[in-house]
Amino acid sequence: MHLKTLLLDTDATALHVLQRFARRTTLLDAVSATQPDAPTEAYDLIFYGIAEPETTLIRLPSWAEQTPVILMSEQEQHALLGYRIGALDFLLKPLQYADFERALQRFLHRPVTHERTPWLQKSLFVRSGHRLVRLLLDDILYVEGLKDYLKIYVRSLPHPVLTLMSFRELSSRLPAQDFARIHRSYLVALPHVEAISRQHVQVAGQELPIGPLYRESLLRGFGVAV
């Protein structure tokens, strides 16, 4: 068995050490990179070096969200940040082979996730505060962007759900045929759109702003001539 593995780190020294570790095991078919550009092929595992040592916010590229990731950093506190974004494991720099091997074994013995069940396909889990909140996709009305946070308005909840996430990350987890951006600060659930005017979209009785380019795309999506 050979695991197609991406070794990604802007730190050349750490990347060299990681390459040496990968050669010591016969399991990895490893490719190295220094920039988080979207790869041209799929990988089984990613070792991802955190580029900003002092950062308090980690966001993985959207193309890496469906692949097990092992984070690497010089800062111990990044282990908690890695846990929050669902990283499989964390390696503290300078890298040690024993830690590398332990993380690899954890990957090999992780529970295997089979095809998502129907109820899970209709759900979205987001982290809000210290909780993971399950949202039904059919109940999501619209999403408002607030700098680093998103406010998700849900039909079944009295208050919006606040989560630390980007529009890009959220969009990658939503069915594209049911959701669309209408503004740099708003995303709407198409089944809940009630009316479209020149400058607004009405969802659940709320008037939301819509940009000109977004409006044309939205109208075409509904089969309306622009």
CB-CB contact of 30 with 41 (8 Å): no
Run means of pLDDT, 10 residues per run, the chain, 226 residues: 84 93 86 78 87 60 80 83 79 92 83 55 82 89 93 94 90 86 94 93 95 84 69
How distant, in Å, are the alpha carbons of 71, 99, 110 from that of 21? 15, 10, 21
Whether residue 113 is contained in a domain is answered as no
Residue 179 belongs to a domain with what CATH number? 2.40.50.1020
144 shares a domain with 102: no
Domain boundary among 87, 108, 129: 108
Query: 0.75 exceeded by the pTM?
Result: no
123 shares a domain with 88: no
154 shares a domain with 85: no
CB-CB contact of 200 with 218 (8 Å): no
Residue 212: is the preceding peptide bond cis (ω within 30°)?
no
- What are the tokens at 201? 């979209």
215 shares a domain with 141: yes
Residue 58 belongs to a domain with what CATH number? 3.40.50.2300
Domain membership of residue 102 as a residue range: 3-108
Domain boundary among 108, 132, 164: 108
- What are the tokens at 35? 């920039």
Counting the structural domains of the chain, the total is 2
Map tokens 């109208």 to a residue: 219
Domain boundary among 79, 108, 137: 108
193 shares a domain with 98: no
78 shares a domain with 103: yes
139 shares a domain with 215: yes
Whether residue 226 is contained in a domain is answered as no
Residue 119 has a pLDDT of 58
